[in-house]
Amino acid sequence: MSLSHAQAAILLVLGLQRRGVDEAGEALGGLPGTQVLALFSKALRKLHGSLKASREAELERTLPKVGRPRFPSGWDGLPPLPAPHTLVRRSGHDLSG
């Protein structure tokens, strides 16, 4: 994961130095508070994505490997459909006409 220098600085100023958004903007060369919040949000999304990918990779390593089931040639795994002449309405009338 890589953060821009501004994103890393914002995380440090807001997190470690416990300054407010406006103070962080002033410390970073006069950035407006909205831009500071946008960069902070983007940095958090990157961090979340990286942590989520790491967690998913760890979970994948712990799960057993399962292969695809092998079916006989030409078999799609579905039962055969009934012939149209065998279909009957609930009232007992034949649907075949």
Q: Please report, rounded to a whole number, the percentage of residues in the chain having pLDDT higher than 90.
A: 40
What's the pLDDT at 64? 81
Q: Which amino acid is at 81?
A: L
Query: What average pLDDT is seen over the chain?
Result: 83
Q: Give the containing element (helix H, strand E) for 66.
A: none
5-61 adopts what CATH topology?
Arc Repressor Mutant, subunit A (1.10.10)
Average pLDDT, integer, range 6-30: 90
Query: What residue segments make up the domains of the chain, in order of their start?
Result: 5-61
pLDDT score recorded for residue 37: 93
* Under 8 Å between Cβ of 1 and 47: yes
Considering Cα of 45, then 48, then 53, then 59, what sign does the dihedral take? negative
Q: Which helix (H) or strand (E) holds 59?
A: helix 33-62
CA atoms within 13 A on the CB side of 23: 9
**Residue that is written with structure tokens 């990157």 in the block:** 46
